[in-house]
Structure 1
């Protein structure tokens, strides 16, 4: 797969994640709990992925138990990301929660540095700084002015960022020979198991489904459980987890845009400036790749 195509897939996956917060806010306004909003999409999304993956059952039978176990265990990161993040939002503002979650931008580079001994370049450090500054600005005025700090909430937010970093990393390293649909299905299954252990599916036994939870579960399952893992499973092995961390930051501009269009939230000029800075940071990180490709082509031409 070409690197540009892989980058585009990761961008689309991150954009899909960006739609989630708007859907979650709407579901909360309808009276559904954090446990219901967290566990129901994973359960429904997992079932849908298994149905879509029926043609891959032949491949599944050929996998070793060790490979299946690695993929299931890798999915724990995606499950914990949602659990930690939604728990953090119980004691933190949404804007501060987003800032903490977006620490995955530098965590991804740090982890790749540790695992692959690949030190970030000057342009990568610059892109990280620009993206993080843009994140703070895009999160809004509220995130910079808070009177009561919840240490538990901050810890949970950082754990969500670390889990998301782990999710991006394993997508680029574990069982790359397995087809993307089967990889994402097994990873989501692992995420669903850990989530349902923390938030048991009580919604199956009360009237939440009949009251409309199924609508939000399907939407959240589609944009949070089905589309991103599949696109990440295809794109991240080509571009690497560090670059995926930068491209994943496009999630916040999507959050801002959907909030403005659907929730009719007022977005300030400073927030739009933050969105622009995030996009600039992504362009800086991609410019390094384009420059390397251009250099190689010129070198081949001269030879």
Structure 2
């Protein structure tokens, strides 16, 4: 595996870990949930469409070069890979709505609970995804999956029960929204992995983010676009959230994952958790105890363990074949 592909996925996952800290800082400046998520998706959408346009121009330039060498005229319909039907566009927009819902409920939880706890709750999407798949396929989880669930539950209880304010007493509303974010993210993982994977990531991302933006603007009308609030510090927070949340990770994942595989990507993706907890401690000055760090490590083991098992089984199978 080339180091640049490993770094691509690593940096992409770490970028997600930055978001909760930026959101809490935005709340500290008095901005509201709809304003924060709205500016994030707006800037992310603009960046995504800029990338899609660049990709299309690059494809056309390559096409002209190839046709110039062959002596054929440029076919205007030759770049059909970037042309989608409206049915395909609407489907991608629909698939993108869980990302907006995840952002809304996750960021809403940050109004009630520390960022270090919110990210741990979000990471429960791992076992929730497994549970949904087991129910849909009517298959009983194997021993590896059950052991993983034990690690995830144990680490979560340790980190959540012994962290923060007043001996670990947190808002039930905040915890509920944190878990709802995990459910929503699980749905996104399940749906996005099956939605028109033959379409290039740049076009898929642009339409999916557009769908999320439309949903947020319906739920929270974008008054900030017209009352001048956009040109305050809100634009800075929105740009940072859009850049690190809606733009950088999909691009870097699209570059790295095909070369390192989904199993290794799952292992590297776990870096989001310690990055978020570390920043909540250093920037937001949240109390992160040694016991909480132990809980974080246990949760990380729960995320990484099944991926390592798959890699080991695959390597064993390849050795037997050779």
Q: TM-score, normalised by structure 1?
A: 0.83
CA contact (8 A) 1:249 1:278 kept: no
- Compare 213-222 and 53-62 and name the one that shifted more: 53-62
1:64-143, aligned counterparts within 5 Å? 64-92=85-113, 94=115, 97-116=118-137, 119-139=140-160, 140-142=162-164
User: What residue number does 2:234 align with?
Assistant: 213
- 1:278-289 to 2 correspondences below 5 Å: 278-289=299-310
- CA deviation after TM superposition for structure 1 residue 6, in Å: 8.3
What whole-Å deviation, never above 9, does each CA across 1:162-208 have from its counterpart, x for those lacking one? 21111111221110101111111111111111111112221112232
Q: Which moved more, 1:90-99 or 1:290-299?
A: 90-99
Structure 1 263/97 Cα, relative in aligned 2: closer, same or farther at 3 Å?
Answer: closer
Partner of 2:64: none
- Alpha-carbon deviation of 1:21? 0.9
Distance 1:215 1:239, change over 3 A: same
Aligned residues: 296
Unaligned ranges ≥5, structure 2 = 57-78
Please say which of residues 95-104 and 276-285 is displaced more in the overlay: 95-104
Aligned residues of 1:45 and 1:218 also touching (Cα < 8 A): yes
The offset of 1:298, in angstroms, is 1.7
Q: Who is 1:258 aligned against?
A: 279
Cα 1:147/1:290, change in 2 over 3 Å: closer
Greater CA drift, 291-300 or 273-282: 273-282
Query: Max radius of gyration: which structure?
Result: 2
Quote the Cα distance in structure 2 between the aligned partners of 1:34 and 1:283: 32
| Residue number in structure 1 paired with 2:30 | 31
Residues 282 and 148 (structure 1), Cα distance of their counterparts in 2 relative to 1, 3 Å cut:
closer
- Scaled by the length of structure 2, the TM-score of the pair is 0.78
Q: How well do the aligned residues superpose, as a CA RMSD in angstroms?
A: 3.2
For residue 30 of structure 2, give the secondary structure of its aligned residue in structure 1.
Answer: coil
Q: 1:146 aligns with which of 137, 160, 169?
A: 169
Q: Is the 8 A contact 2:20 2:115 kept in 1?
A: no
C-alpha distance after superposition, 1:10-50 (max 9, x if no partner)? 55443221110111122222222222111111011101110
Instruction: Give, in angstroms, the shift of residue 59 of structure 1.
Output: 4.7
**Residue 289 of structure 2 is aligned to residue 268 of structure 1:** yes
Shift of the alpha carbon at 1:56? 4.3
User: Matches of 1:184 and 1:248 in 2, distance apart?
Assistant: 19
Relative to structure 1, is the Cα distance of residues 122 and 41 closer, same or farther in structure 2, using a 3 angstrom cutoff? same
In structure 1, the residue matched to 2:66 is: none
* Residue aligning to 1:46: 45
Aligned to 1:21: 20
3-state DSSP class of the match of 1:53? helix
Instruction: Name structure 1 gaps, 5 residues minimum.
Output: none
Describe the superposition over 1:56-107 as per-residue Cα deviations: whole angstroms up to 9, x where unpaired. Answer: 4545653233322221110011011111223344455555544543331211
Residues 1:112 and 1:231: Cα distance change in structure 2 (over 3 Å): farther
Distance 1:108 1:40 in 2: 29
Kept in 1, the 8 Å contact 2:115–2:276? The answer is no
1:215-239 CA-to-partner distances (Å, cap 9, x unmatched) read 1111000111112334456649x63
Indicate yes or no: 2:227 matched with 1:228: no
